[in-house]
Amino acid sequence: MRAAIEGQSARIIAAHNDPATIKILRETVEREENIASPSVEAYFNANRNIHRKFVELSGNRYLLDMFDNIWNRGVSYNLFAAIANVDLAKSLGDHLRLVDAIESGDPTIAMEAIVDHIAHSFELQIEALGSER
């Protein structure tokens, strides 16, 4: 579900290819990834804020509503917290690469970058949940 919502958002932003939007995305990623006191909650909030900004800047309120419905559930935090057993910093890893993909102006490249990023995050969660056993 996240991949569909965020992938479509990335496609929309890339198609518009607006330098001001790209600047906002870069500033958001740089600000959010600069975590002063690392914790599960800090990483979760930074990750959510970055991904929400991608969806928000698509200008599609329906996608944003769906995004908020997914991320504002307690299970989202619990799944993210499981990554603490692996490496929380990995979860924030390549957001600037996503901005670069969007800046390419190619909607397909932008969508694929986001979908791959979400799939990688899911793999980290599965790895973390497996290590809890």
Q: What is the CATH number of the domain that holds 6?
A: 1.20.120.530
Q: What pTM value is reported for the model? A: 0.85
Which pLDDT belongs to residue 88? 58
Task: Decide: helix, strand or coil at residue 106.
Answer: coil
Q: What share of the chain is helix, strand, coil (3-state, %, to 5)?
A: 80, 0, 20
User: What does the pLDDT look like over 73-85, one tens digit per residue?
Assistant: 755 656 666 565 5
Helix (H) or strand (E) holding 58: none
Domain region containing 31: 2-131
CA dihedral 50, 4, 65, 87 (to 10 degrees): -30
Please report the sign of the dihedral spanned by the C-alpha atoms of residue 28, residue 29, residue 30, residue 35. positive
Q: Per-block average pLDDT, block size 10, for the chain (133 residues)?
A: 95 98 97 85 88 98 96 66 58 84 98 93 73 58
Number of folded domains in the chain? 1
3-class SS at 50? helix
CA atoms within 13 A on the CB side of 21: 22
